[in-house]
A and B are shown apart, each in its own frame.
Chain A
Amino acid sequence: MDPMYLALSLFRRRQYDKCVEICSEILEKQPLDQAVWCLKMRALTQRVYVDELESEENEIEDDFLDSNVVATAPRPGTSLKTPSSVNTNKSLGARPRTSTGRPISGVVRPSTSRCGSGLERLRTSRGSTGQSARAIRLGTAAILSQKDGPFIQVSRLNLSKYAKNKLLNKSIFEYLLYHEGDVRNAMELAVLATQACEFKDWWWKIQLAKCYIALNLVREAEQQIRSAIKQTPHIENYIRLIRIYIRIDQPLTATEVCKQALEIFPNDVSIMTELARLTEELNEPQASVKYYRNIVIQDAMNTEAIACIGMYHFYNNQPELALRYYRRLLAMGAHSAELYNNLGLCCLYSQQLDLTLACFQRALDLATDPLVKADVWYNLSYVAIAAGDVSLAIQCLNLCLCADSSHAPAFNNLAVLHHKNGKTHLAKAYLVTAKGHQPALPEPVFNLNVLQNDH
């Protein structure tokens, strides 16, 4: 078989490693074969390609050393940057959040898997990697060591020559950005290429925007994306624009962009998802659930939407309805500690006690992350309390604290239970610890006041 044909076929079948090998062999014989060169480049790129729309970390709090966010004290309901202290309204549908501010929803989203703000990272010396560096980190994870030096010497690449070559420039750009992680050179190529095509290709504008975002030049990125949208309205472009506004903490502008996009792409699931997430972050659960319902009408298999509707019902005191949604998820094949945990809670509150413990058992079996494990034990303590078994509840909470020693609600509940047992001083100590771990949590403060007034 023709090796080139084979390589192409391998590329299509996503066997990139083998494809690269064959390409290398051909290139040894014919070093100037551009088609093969291009294919190898694409294979290398595809192997490490990351969909940064899905992997993007939420950067709102990452304002260490730069301040793209305009307002420092915006009005409530106009910002995502709400410290947990603001979020104390106990209206229906308000959900508890973890100590990092992530709603405990049972749905892991790109933006919720964050680990504190930049400054917090500094304090814990976990080390922060800058924007451009992160892109590299995502990319380098899969790079294998190459035998004879790098495939392309970036510094020797004649960017202005390749920028005019319409067949090669896009592949080179992606190779530079994803494989090499060289944002500066990638951007230079993009600038030259967009000039070469007289600013008529929206694709380059979006790529430029990607580079700008990686370099933290958010406003420039905004301009590029807006210009691209003017040329070609595209769902991806809109989502990027929405992300930018979320990043500069202007959720209302983002919402407006969502609505504009929905006029052009009515009922588009990905845009509606963005809108639903936004409204949820803005503490408007009713509106959020409305959008999630629309999503489910369009796509009945959308896990995120189903889970969110289920959660809405749960906190709306309709655990039976919630149970139905979660069971649907289970039927769809989802199988995670969070889901079983939620199922267990729903069973508990809808009085299906026979299933409760079984669900939690599964959840514990599946929970590998100590934080999740802690949450499951914390929830189990509620089961114990519901059963009237205080000592079991204390046991559960202690286990929860074993897994996560900074679980403030657990400390609080432990304090209440100990107070019930008459150990006031111990309770007080626990409450103080809880307050120390999460000062914004209202319960320990309130309880401490009560204790103080009693004595």
Chain B
Amino acid sequence: MDKHIRPVFTLELGYKILAGLVTIGKYDGTHPCLTVATSTDKVLIHNPHRKVNNSNQVGKVIWSESNRELATLNINSMVTALAAYAVLPNVSRDILIIGTATNILVYDVHDNRDLFFKECEDGVRCVTVGNGQMILVGGNSSVHGYDHLGNDVFWIAVGDCVTSLSCLPDQKLIVSSEDFYIRIFKGGDLESELNETEAVSNLLGLPNEKFAYSVSNGTIGVYEKTSRLWRVKSKNFAISMLSYDLLGRTTGPQLITGWSNGKIDCRTLTTGEVLFKDTMNSSVAGIVEADYRSCGKCDLICVSIDGEVKGYTKTKAAAEGSNGIEQDTIKHLLSQKQALLMELKHYENNVKFNSNIMNETESYEARGVIPSNTRLQIVVTTNSDIETTSEAHVEVYICTNNSTIIKAVILFAEGIFKGESHVVHPETSKLASGMSIPLYLPKDVPIDIHLKALIGYPNSVQFHVFEITKQLPTFSMYRAKQVHVKPTSWVEFQINERLQRLCMWLNQNFILSEDIELTSEDHLELSLECLRDKTVLVIRFDISGKSVIFTDNIFLAADLVQCLANYLKIEGLESKANFPKEEENLKLLMQKLSDIQEARLKLDTDVADKFGQIRNLVVAAEDFRINDLTEMLECYRELDNVNKSLINGFNIKAQNYSEGIETMKSINNIIQKASRVRVGEFSTKMIGHCRNAIKNNNIDGLIKILRTGEP
């Protein structure tokens, strides 16, 4: 049901705009100004509301020379994030927040003054404002919160580059990061964690606890709480999303998405059905909403990377709209009826054939039908004959219960294949009634496998499709193995739960060849081996409630604790952790970080000094142009040298910077995992302690916190 909506205004900014860096702010409290970041390290403010040049009037902005509606702000380094929010308490005008790779500038456009300018060691990837006017900055491995004075008031470690932030009501914060997770935090606590197949590039909080997301592989979708309502995939990827009621529906706003090929589409929030489409001449840079024509209602404003701006407005809820819905429903029902009739016909055929089976001499094979009692069975194991195969894996074995064969199998699962599906079709000579499929699971998460098998006979032309859904347990990539030496690292915690229940948990979350049973009265011990790297994992529960997980992998320990806490519905869990290797690693990383920071300072000075030299040389060269041409050449030659060394210096700096980012990321990753071997408030408290320790560069303190959770 495409509806044609024409733009209500179009204009050209005449600048190249960075994708995603578009926002709109009411810097004087009433008039919205489109604000974009350009590829020349400037921020552009477009203000169509300026009154005719009247310099006596205070409160009106000066018109710039070239384009009278544009004002530029010099930022001097690549802009990475841009946002405009009312941050000051009791002040309704919006404040512009500009993030660059290393700094954040909170700038009052109206008064031309900084609220604060702060160095963010962790970088700035995205910015939003929420939880009571707190400025939230997503960095390379953490989220920092600042108040309007620039005080650091909030901190959570994320573990990988934050790609997007969005706030929901009641202090909830959604964070997406490059490790493919979407995490929902409430206050400082991790409330839930959703896994996607690729890095999520955009998040948008919607009303009724919904939020929309877009993935860098071209998927967009909507979640309600933690369950996905819908998703669609496209060749292009979404740059910007906004909820706006373009069609004037009574059911609420629609989701507007801007794509990298310039397409803009409008979908319903609940089903993702496309209601309206339009295209810009180049990739979309951002979509915002504001009353841009001063006519009292909000327009939808789309900006492309070439500076094209299009404005759309809400269309009137046309009478034919309801008509359209009726027709639509009838069409939908008709097609459904058609499909059902077809299915019925098939069934009738099959019944007729099966009833005649005694009289027929022909085999099933020729007719393309299979016995009605054919069943497909599925077994999931970890492959035990580890020596024979090259790599350990999880094995999915399917077979039929009669002589029919499996022609091909299509597997759908998220995040374990390169795409989202995997097809297995053996050669014709190897067709059999059973088949095993190896799976390599990269992460310890529960996975739903949707399996479609084509069943028939070797010579059949038509095949029957059997569908099975199987959920793999969280810790599939582990198998039971007797070990004698326990790993030196461990997590110890106290849980008050019957051993039977823990036994159940183990059976549910691991693939074990036979369910383990409680053999001893006073303790339960299970030793396992990881199929990925052959490390050993030992889990031991005592009757006293003392539980220990022995593993060298802190990430695995964190996952186990979280999974267990979730299963037993534990609100808060305190634990002791001992990971000597990680501690050693952390020490090295902290040392490396301080070295890098020191070097960075020196490099910065170098660059600044060279700038000074260049400045002098340019001026001197200009002077010599008048007096002495040979000297001028000398000057320019030197200028060339300085320039070259400046470029060298820059490369070194870039290297240093990326190393610093990596180190910071590893540190935050360890802290995040260490916090997750605790649950609930203990985890939050520990992160707070860690932050203080890092601020004071207290390495020993930090390690003690990792061990005990207390400083």
- List residues of chain A with CB under 8 Å of any chain B CB: 64-79, 86, 88-89, 121-122, 125, 127-133, 183-184, 187-188, 191, 212, 215-217, 219-220, 222-223, 245, 249-253, 256
CB of B623 within 8 A of CB of A77, answer no
CB of B618 within 8 A of CB of A125, answer no
Cα–Cα, bound, A89→B54 (Å):
10
Q: B37-69 interface mask toward A, CB cutoff 8 Å, 1 = contact, 0 = none?
A: 000000000000000000110111111100000
CB of B622 within 8 A of CB of A184, answer no
6 contacts between A and B (CB under 8 A): A73-B63, A131-B612, A188-B602, A212-B608, A215-B612, A223-B117
- Residue of A72, A217, A249 near B64 (CB, 8 A) is A72
Q: B198-235 interface mask toward A, CB cutoff 8 Å, 1 = contact, 0 = none?
A: 00000000000000000000000000000000000000
Q: A417: shortest Cβ distance to chain B, in Å?
A: 30
Q: B180: shortest Cβ distance to chain A, in Å?
A: 35
Q: A89: shortest Cβ distance to chain B, in Å?
A: 5
- List residues of chain B with CB under 8 Å of any chain A CB: 55-56, 58-64, 71-76, 103, 105, 107, 109-114, 117, 119, 598, 601-602, 604-605, 608-609, 611-616, 618-620, 622-623, 626
CB of A65 within 8 A of CB of B55, answer no
Cα–Cα, bound, A78→B103 (Å):
24
CB of A76 within 8 A of CB of B605, answer no
* Residues of B close to A132: CB separation below 8 A: 609, 612
CB of A250 within 8 A of CB of B61, answer no
- Contact A72 to B71, CB < 8 A, known contacts A88-B55, A215-B612: yes
Q: A429: shortest Cβ distance to chain B, in Å?
A: 29
CB of A86 within 8 A of CB of B111, answer no
Smallest CB-CB separation from B98: which chain A residue? Answer: A70
Smallest CB-CB separation from B118: which chain A residue? Answer: A223
Smallest CB-CB separation from B72: which chain A residue? Answer: A72
* Residues of A close to B598: CB separation below 8 A: 191
CB of A219 within 8 A of CB of B616, answer no
CB of A122 within 8 A of CB of B112, answer no
* Residues of A close to B602: CB separation below 8 A: 188, 191
CB of A216 within 8 A of CB of B612, answer yes
* Residues of A close to B626: CB separation below 8 A: 125
- Contact A75 to B615, CB < 8 A, known contacts A89-B56, A217-B608, A220-B604: no
CB of B608 within 8 A of CB of A125, answer no
Cα–Cα, bound, A125→B620 (Å):
9
Cα–Cα, bound, A187→B613 (Å):
17
CB of A129 within 8 A of CB of B71, answer no
CB of A121 within 8 A of CB of B62, answer no
Cα–Cα, bound, A130→B110 (Å):
32
Cα–Cα, bound, A184→B603 (Å):
11
* Residues of A close to B105: CB separation below 8 A: 70
CB of A72 within 8 A of CB of B74, answer yes
* Residues of A close to B61: CB separation below 8 A: 73-75
* Residues of A close to B615: CB separation below 8 A: 64-66, 128, 130
CB of B74 within 8 A of CB of A65, answer no
CB of B601 within 8 A of CB of A71, answer no
Q: A284: shortest Cβ distance to chain B, in Å?
A: 11
Smallest CB-CB separation from B616: which chain A residue? Answer: A130
- Residue of B73, B110, B112, B618 near A65 (CB, 8 A) is B618
- Contact A129 to B616, CB < 8 A, known contacts A187-B605, A215-B605, A250-B113: yes
CB of A75 within 8 A of CB of B619, answer no
- Residue of A76, A79, A220 near B58 (CB, 8 A) is A76
CB of B612 within 8 A of CB of A77, answer no
CB of A86 within 8 A of CB of B62, answer yes
- Contact A133 to B612, CB < 8 A, known contacts A70-B107, A121-B619, A122-B622: yes
- Contact A127 to B74, CB < 8 A, known contacts A78-B112, A187-B605, A188-B602: no
- Residue of A64, A130, A222 near B612 (CB, 8 A) is A130
* Residues of B close to A183: CB separation below 8 A: 609
Q: A278: shortest Cβ distance to chain B, in Å?
A: 12
Cα–Cα, bound, A91→B565 (Å):
73
CB of A70 within 8 A of CB of B618, answer no
CB of B614 within 8 A of CB of A65, answer yes
* Residues of B close to A89: CB separation below 8 A: 55-56
* Residues of B close to A121: CB separation below 8 A: 619
* Residues of A close to B64: CB separation below 8 A: 72-73
Query: What 10 pairs across the A-B complex have the smallest Cβ distances?
Result: A78-B112, A215-B608, A74-B112, A253-B113, A67-B74, A130-B612, A73-B71, A252-B113, A250-B113, A73-B64
- Residue of B73, B608, B623 near A70 (CB, 8 A) is B73
Q: A12: shortest Cβ distance to chain B, in Å?
A: 36
* Residues of A close to B63: CB separation below 8 A: 73
CB of B111 within 8 A of CB of A78, answer yes
Q: A195: shortest Cβ distance to chain B, in Å?
A: 8
Cα–Cα, bound, A70→B119 (Å):
16
* Residues of B close to A223: CB separation below 8 A: 117, 119
- Contact A75 to B113, CB < 8 A, known contacts A131-B612, A216-B611: no
* Residues of A close to B103: CB separation below 8 A: 219
Q: A46: shortest Cβ distance to chain B, in Å?
A: 26
* Residues of B close to A129: CB separation below 8 A: 616
Known: A67-B76, A73-B62, A78-B111. 8 other contacts (CB 8 A): A66-B76, A78-B113, A125-B622, A188-B602, A188-B605, A215-B608, A251-B112, A253-B114
